[in-house]
Structure 1
Amino acid sequence: MTLPDAVKSTPRLPLDQDGGPVFSAPWEARVFAMTLQAHEADVFTWSEWAESLGAELAGDDIHDQQPQGYYDHWLNAFEKLLTRKKVTGADQLAELKQAWDEAAHATSHGQPIELKRGNT
């Protein structure tokens, strides 16, 4: 995957030897792709994105017993930026997270998780 220079310079972005992003779970790749799509749709500038992510990463506490992963910070920054830009509201995000958690708990291991229409 060839990334634009601005994306490659994102704070602490894990890259492989070929300069592509590294993901340890499918949801990480999805939120990465959603962020790029939102940027390409002019929802925010890459500078705004880097500032939002940087603020999340700066909140890392080296003494935290359960530190967040890089893409947990990425997701938090993305949600905050979408809320700040009034693309979505915090209540909508909370409802979607609850619906996702309920669907995940109701889904057998190895099966795709599906949200029922009307829950989002």
Structure 2
Amino acid sequence: MAQDLASVRTLLETVPGIPCQGEAPIFAEPWQAQVFAMALSLQQRGVFTWHEWAEELGLQIKSALAEGDPDDGSTYYCHWLATLERLAVRKSIASPETLDRYVRAWIHAADRTPHGQTIELTPDDFG
């Protein structure tokens, strides 16, 4: 727990622009907190440093802005997700094909899940 707090503080100091209330990050939707937690976990495991993360996130945001992404904060955690995917591929955690397979499975699972229910992947989602 103390390591998590220290990592979050370092992250907040290293990566500008994280929406916060006081010293705590805030999230508009649950998936944003999950992306944040995945990045925190991978950094704590030594997959990347916060400086490496900040550099990659900055490149992702610049690229998105060049492609017409609105600079209004609404897509901030979409950039986190894209950054996680790029680092996962670069660090050989997952291949682009594996990531694409899971995206397609997730879309299939979301389509079959009634609104308000938890989305769960099953083997049929990968078929």
Alignment TM class, shorter chain as reference: 0.7 to 0.9
Q: Aligned residues, how many?
A: 117
The 5 Å alignment of 1:19-34 reads 19-34=23-38
Question: What root-mean-square deviation, in Å, do the aligned CA atoms of Structure 1 and Structure 2 show?
Answer: 2.1
Report the equivalent of 1:83.
89
Q: Percent identity?
A: 38
Secondary structure, counterpart of 2:25 in structure 1 = coil
- Equivalent position amino acid for 1:85 in 2: K
Deviations 1:79-118 (A, max 9, x none): 1011111111110000000000010011100011010047
- Equivalent position amino acid for 1:13 in 2: I
Is the Cα contact below 8 Å between 1:14 and 1:21 reproduced in 2? yes
Length-normalised TM-score, structure 2: 0.82
- Asked if 1:102 is matched to 2:108, the reply is yes
Is the Cα contact below 8 Å between 1:2 and 1:19 reproduced in 2? no
Q: In the TM superposition, what is the alpha-carbon distance from 1:11 to its structure 2 partner? A: 2.8
Deviations 1:9-53 (A, max 9, x none): 21311111x211111111100010011000101111111111111
Structure 1: gaps of 5 or more residues: none
Looking at secondary structure, tell me which structure has more helix per residue.
Answer: 2
Runs of 4+ deviating beyond 3 Å: 1-5
Report the equivalent of 2:79.
73
Length-normalised TM-score, structure 1: 0.87
Distance, in Å, in 2 between the alignment partners of 1:77 and 1:62 is 16
